[in-house]
């Protein structure tokens, strides 16, 4: 559909911005829906990164949509064979009918500083 194509284009821009950061792994390969991006941010705790992004006005989640509000490593990533450390360093970004290019730009702009701060906190 037209909406799937629009979301896929937004996701592609988001993937490009997130994947450009050091030590970041995009999860799920090519078989993911156009509205979801899950990424592992090595060296950071997802909960720290989540709080820092929230302070910057960016919404994300540490788990799947069906476990929203529950702060624990993604069961899906664990089932895929990822380590608990990787699953605990992963965030999910969801796109929807209200998502725009400006929203993607805001995430990509906020991530570098938030990630640096989250990694610094995890190193302590």
DSSP state of 29: T
Q: How far apart are CA 89 and CA 87, in angstroms?
A: 5
| DSSP tag of 100 | -
pLDDT at 58: 95
**Count of Cβ atoms closer than 10 Å to residue 44 Cβ:** 27
Domain chopping of the chain, boundaries: 2-123
Q: Model confidence over 96-107: pLDDT tens digits?
A: 999 999 999 999
Q: How far apart are the first and last CA of the chain?
A: 47
Q: Rounded to two decimals, what is the model's pTM? A: 0.82
Between 28 and 4, residue with greater pLDDT: 4
Catalytic residue among 1, 2, 30, 66: 66
What average pLDDT does range 99-122 have in this prediction? 96
* CATH for 2-123, options being 3.20.20.20, 3.40.50.970, 3.90.1150.10, 3.40.50.1100: 3.90.1150.10
- Block residue for tokens 């988001």: 14
In the annotation, is 95 catalytic? Answer: no
- Residue pLDDT, tens place only, 10-51: 999 999 999 999 999 999 877 788 999 999 999 999 999 999
Three-point CA angle 43, 46, 47, nearest 5° = 130
């Amino acid at each position: 559909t037209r909406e799937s194509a629009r979301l896929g284009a937004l996701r592609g821009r988001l993937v490009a911005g997130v994947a450009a950061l050091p030590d970041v792994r995009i999860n799920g390969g090519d078989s993911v829906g156009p509205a979801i991006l899950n990424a592992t941010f090595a060296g950071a705790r997802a909960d720290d990164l989540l709080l820092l992004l929230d302070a910057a006005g960016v919404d994300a989640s540490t788990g799947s949509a069906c476990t929203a509000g529950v702060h624990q490593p993604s069961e899906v990533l664990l089932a895929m064979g990822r380590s608990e450390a990787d699953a605990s360093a992963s965030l999910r970004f969801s796109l929807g009918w209200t998502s725009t290019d400006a929203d993607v730009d805001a995430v990509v702009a906020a991530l570098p500083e938030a990630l640096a701060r989250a990694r610094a906190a995890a190193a302590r």
